[in-house]
Amino acid sequence: MRFRARRRAIARNMAIAAAVPSLTADVRVDLTRVLDVRAALNTERTAVGEPKLSVQSFIARAAVDALAEHPDLNSTFTDAALLRWQPVNLSIAVDTTGGLVVPVIRNAQRLGVVQLASAIADLADRAKTGSLELSDLTGGTFTLSNPGAIGPSLRAEALLNPPQTALLGLPGMRREPVVVQHGDGREEVRISSVLDLSLTFDHRAVDGGEPIRYLVAVRDRLQRWSSTEYGPPTAA
């Protein structure tokens, strides 16, 4: 069987990515708060005929927001310098019958959950119908990969998307016992929906501490989500 042009292009890109010295760090997130907020919003949206919001759009919002505090991960490594990008052009990995494509949401830092959900759905639809433009596939600065949407993967380690410095992978969500700590020191065990965020990063650009701090920042945003945080940021 001869490979199609897209498969050959993917193979070339993977060979380039495999040459980057990279590591992957993981942090567990309790999604209870986000799922409660999402359920309430989706009840309102379905009542007026609007599409439901995906869990991925909430994670995308938290991931993009946390990059403002950790700009070294929204960057490109060169031999001379680390180039930090001001906009977050969010690459979204999409699995299609023709192979993996990674279209881009430009200036994702300006978008709230509703806008991100719409943009992700639009790119995924156009990727699967083959109607993406070349401009949709260039200029990404940070990648979000969601293999958990395909099946119950336990980890989302991935090759980087050069020349980007970092990729956030979302494995499958699962139900597990979680120890909940209360302000008065009490602890209790409850069954919660959890997800282990996986950040693959270019070790030439950053050491291990920064990716862990970033993952904790994303986790904290998701576990302490307020009902006002799904809207667009107050500062673009």
| Active-site residue, selected from the candidate residues 36, 122, 125, 207 | 207
CA dist., res. 27 & res. 47, Å (int): 35
Taken as a whole, the chain contains a residue count of: 236
Say what angle helices 209-223 and 55-67 make with each other, to 10 degrees: 130
| Active-site residue, selected from the candidate residues 26, 65, 203, 220 | 203
Whether residue 207 lies in the annotated active site:
yes
- How far are the Cα atoms of 39, 50, 54, 116, 173 from residue 45, in angstroms, in the given order? 10, 5, 12, 15, 23
Whether residue 65 lies in the annotated active site:
no
Q: How many CB atoms sit inside 10 A of residue 147's CB?
A: 19
Tell me the catalytic residues: 203, 207
